[in-house]
Every structure is written in structure tokens, then in C-alpha cells.
């Protein structure tokens, strides 16, 4: 891919840069379905996808990156990116001072060696962490939050993401992981679709009983709950662009504004309208 094609494919916007933290909004069109050329991060980044999905490759290991995950891009670790589903992706990428990251990260999550690097490729995050990602992104993009508040929110987000009670990293066999990855990509390709369990199971090639059992075991939440979180994370992404919240509810697959508002409030602690006001008026 030429430099011009890369620039057209990838958009990087610096939202905040201080001695403590750097925050970037990275958006990719996802036109390249095959593996990209290898890259290498100069420092460890914590990457929070907030739209779409992509696959990260480190050697022969593959990680599905989507909105319910935090993905680690470790210092001096070669990786490549591919987009097995259309629509591209967008992420909030955070790099913080190395000493602070070492202080925040539990020791059992870090790899041995001179760099501050994580042992596992990703961690699941909870809805409140997703809400913090949206508050940071919308607030910084609109100039609605000041530097000190943004730095504090970023550290709070990282602490919550790495906390044992609010995130998870559950083991599974290679075959189970591939099944869960196929399911995640299927759901991420069209978050607003009203799937049935039988349709999902048919697409990924297993029985509904086996799918629900393995997915819940691997991700820590039932399949239906995971898909609901995908749809509501899409709402977090789009809230700043909608004045008509009923239209937003219908566009992301809810049957009514009241159903959407109740589900949103249960997950994030605020109604969509309250969250929208918080990102605009902080």
C-alpha cells in the first residue's frame, strides 16, 4: 500500500498530549481485508475500539478487536492488522507515562522484561469503561472538558479496565476461541440486526446449546447480553450526531425509544438524553 493509500485508509487525530497521557482518535476505513504490512509500537498503547471490528495478528496469534474489548499494543511488539468484516473501525488509543502504567497494572498482567508490556493480547471491559471512553472522546473532540479532567478520566478508565472485578480474561481452548471469534465478527458486522440464536449458530456451524455455553464461558456474559452491549456501544458512538433519539433507537435495532432508553440507563447509569447532555455541557 502506498503512503497516499495509507493516509486515505487511516485517520489519526491527537485529542490530548501531556506529560502524563497521550490520547488519539484513530479511524480506519477497513478497505484492506488482508493482513497489513508489519508495524511496531514505540511504546505500549491501550486501544479501546468504539466502532466496528478488526483483527490484530502477532505472529500466528490472532485477536478480534471490537467494542467490548481493550486491546494491548505492546512496546517493540510486531503486529499486523486485517479487516475480515466490512465497515472499518475506530478506536481511542491511550499511552501513558511508563512509570504510571506500571503502577496501575497488576503485576500478574505484565510480561517479564524491561518494557511495560502485557501478557495477554486483550481484556474484556465493562459498560462503565465503555461510557468513560465515550465521555473522553466526545468531551475532548468538542473541547468540553479541560486537561486536568481528561487526564483524571483517562487514569480512571485504565484503572477500571485492568481491575479484576470489572474486566475479565477467561481461558478457553483454541477451538473454542476460534468459535467465539467467528461469532464476535458476525455480530460486529451488523450490530443493529435482530438475530435469532438459531441463525447465529447456523452461521458459525455449531448447535445453539453449544454456542451459548461456550460463548458465556469465554466472555463472561451471555450471548444476548454481549450483542446488546454492541448495539448500545454503537449508541455511545452516535449520540453526538443525533438530535432525534427515537430515530437513533430505531437505527441501531431497538423497537422503541422507551426500550432503548431503559436498556441504556441500565447499562450506563444514565438515559441517552442525560448522557448526551453530559458530553455537550461538561
Which pLDDT score is estimated for 165?
59
CB 237 within 8 A of CB 51: yes
Instruction: For each of the domains in the chain, give its residue range(s) and CATH number, in order of start.
Output: 3-162 (2.60.120.280), 174-281 (1.10.10.60)
Residue with the three cell numbers 473522553: 136
Would you say residue 281 has pLDDT above 70?
no
Q: What is the mean pLDDT of residues 85-106?
A: 92
CB 89 within 8 A of CB 49: yes
Residues 168-186 pLDDT 10s: 656 678 889 999 999 999 9
**63: pLDDT confidence band, cut at 50, 70 and 90?**
very high
**152: pLDDT confidence band, cut at 50, 70 and 90?**
very high
Would you say residue 103 has pLDDT above 70?
yes
**167: pLDDT confidence band, cut at 50, 70 and 90?**
low
Q: How many CB atoms lie within 10 A of CB 191?
A: 24
Which pLDDT score is estimated for 86?
85
Query: Which residue intervals of 143-192 are DSSP H helices?
Result: 147-162, 174-189
> What is the rounded average pLDDT for all residues in the chain?
89
Start-to-end Cα distance in the chain: 41
Which pLDDT score is estimated for 173?
86
**Of 30 and 128, more confident:** 128
Q: What is the mean pLDDT of residues 72-91?
A: 92
**41: pLDDT confidence band, cut at 50, 70 and 90?**
confident
Which pLDDT score is estimated for 114?
81
Model-level pTM?
Answer: 0.86
Q: What is the mean pLDDT of residues 63-91?
A: 93
Which pLDDT score is estimated for 4?
39
Residues 133-149 pLDDT 10s: 999 999 999 888 899 99
Amino acid at each position: 500500500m502506498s503512503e497516499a493509500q495509507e493516509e486515505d485508509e487511516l485517520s489519526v487525530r491527537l485529542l490530548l498530549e501531556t506529560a502524563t497521557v497521550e490520547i488519539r482518535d484513530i479511524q480506519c476505513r477497513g478497505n484492506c481485508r488482508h493482513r497489513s504490512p508489519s508495524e511496531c509500537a514505540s511504546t505500549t498503547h491501550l486501544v479501546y475500539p468504539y466502532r466496528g471490528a478488526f483483527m490484530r495478528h502477532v505472529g500466528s496469534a490472532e485477536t478480534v478487536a471490537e467494542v467490548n474489548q481493550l486491546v494491548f499494543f505492546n512496546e517493540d511488539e510486531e503486529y499486523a492488522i486485517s479487516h475480515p468484516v466490512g465497515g472499518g473501525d475506530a478506536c481511542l488509543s491511550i499511552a501513558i507515562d511508563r512509570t504510571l502504567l506500571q503502577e496501575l497494572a497488576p503485576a500478574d498482567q505484565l510480561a517479564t522484561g524491561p518494557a511495560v508490556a502485557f501478557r495477554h493480547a486483550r481484556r474484556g471491559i465493562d459498560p462503565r469503561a465503555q461510557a468513560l471512553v465515550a465521555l473522553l472522546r466526545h468531551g475532548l473532540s468538542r473541547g468540553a472538558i479541560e486537561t486536568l479532567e481528561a487526564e483524571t478520566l483517562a487514569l480512571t478508565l485504565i484503572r477500571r479496565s485492568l481491575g479484576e472485578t470489572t474486566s475479565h480474561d477467561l481461558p478457553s481452548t483454541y477451538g473454542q476461541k476460534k468459535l467465539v471469534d467467528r461469532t464476535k465478527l458476525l455480530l460486529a458486522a451488523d450490530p443493529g440486526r435482530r438475530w435469532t440464536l438459531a441463525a447465529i449458530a447456523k452461521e458459525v456451524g455449531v448447535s445453539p446449546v453449544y454456542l451459548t455455553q461456550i460463548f458465556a464461558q469465554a466472555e463472561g456474559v451471555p450471548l444476548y447480553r454481549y450483542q446488546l452491549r454492541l448495539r448500545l456501544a454503537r449508541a455511545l458512538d452516535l449520540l453526538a450526531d443525533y438530535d432525534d433519539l427515537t430515530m437513533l433507537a430505531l437505527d441501531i435495532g431497538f423497537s422503541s425509544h422507551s426500550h432503548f432508553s431503559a436498556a441504556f440507563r441500565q447499562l450506563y447509569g444514565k438515559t441517552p438524553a442525560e448522557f448526551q447532555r453530559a458530553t455537550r455541557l461538561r
